[in-house]
Amino acid sequence: MDVLVEEAAKKAAVAWVAVDGRPAALVWCAWLGGALLVVTGEGEQAVPALAEATTAEVSLRGDHGGRIVTFPAEVTRIAPGDEAWTELVPQLAAKRLNAAGGAEELTRVWSERCVVSRLTPAGASAGLPDDAQAAPPRPTAATRLPRRPFRLHKVRGATKHR
């Protein structure tokens, strides 16, 4: 395994995950058992097609906000009742911030309504691109036209002091 990938993933609280050429989605994650664990489904984050995917591309960023590494990952599901579920999912639930209920309740909810995916680094990390890879914002219903700023008074001209 790439040492850079492992070190960046250990420190990551979020990752950008792209599946099947779709735009990358920002997800919270945790590095446990040699892989990033991601929870998707009802009441959790949405990553289109991750639950059915076998591969994904993961990008990790540093404290300064810049990308550190992008790597291919093998995607597998951790099913309730599996040995990995018993070992890893309670640890993942304990790391989940702002969750209703405790780790045991969250683990139960995830087993009923969500998919826990394991993203294991597979292959060499990709080099960083030469260009900025900037893209226009995606369309969303959450946007609105900005209002003009409020002004308490208007300055009509400079006043002369004599």
Question: pLDDT tens-digit profile of 81-124?
Answer: 899 999 999 999 988 887 777 888 989 999 999 999 999 999 77
Would you call 34 exposed, middle or buried from its count of C-beta atoms within 10 A (0-12, 13-18, 19+)? exposed
Whole-number pLDDT of residue 66: 80
- Which ranges of 24-113 does DSSP label H, i.e. alpha helix? 83-95, 103-113
Helix or strand holding residue 7 (H, E): helix 3-11
Q: Which amino acid is at 89?
A: V
Residue 149 has pLDDT above 90, yes or no: no
β 14-18/25-28 pair status: antiparallel
**Distance, CA of 141 to CA of 62 (rounded, Å):** 30
Reported pTM: 0.77
Whether residue 158 is predicted with pLDDT greater than 90 in this model: the reply is no
* pLDDT at 103 (0 to 100): 85
Structure tokens at 33: 């058992």
- Portion of the chain with pLDDT greater than 70, in percent: 90
Does residue 39 carry a pLDDT above 90?
A: yes
Q: Could you give the 3-state DSSP secondary structure of residue 6?
A: helix
25: amino acid identity, one letter: A
Work out the pLDDT band at 130, boundaries 50, 70, 90. Answer: confident
Angle at 42 between CA 37 and CA 43, to 5 degrees: 85
Task: Please name the residue that has the structure tokens 């892989």.
Answer: 35
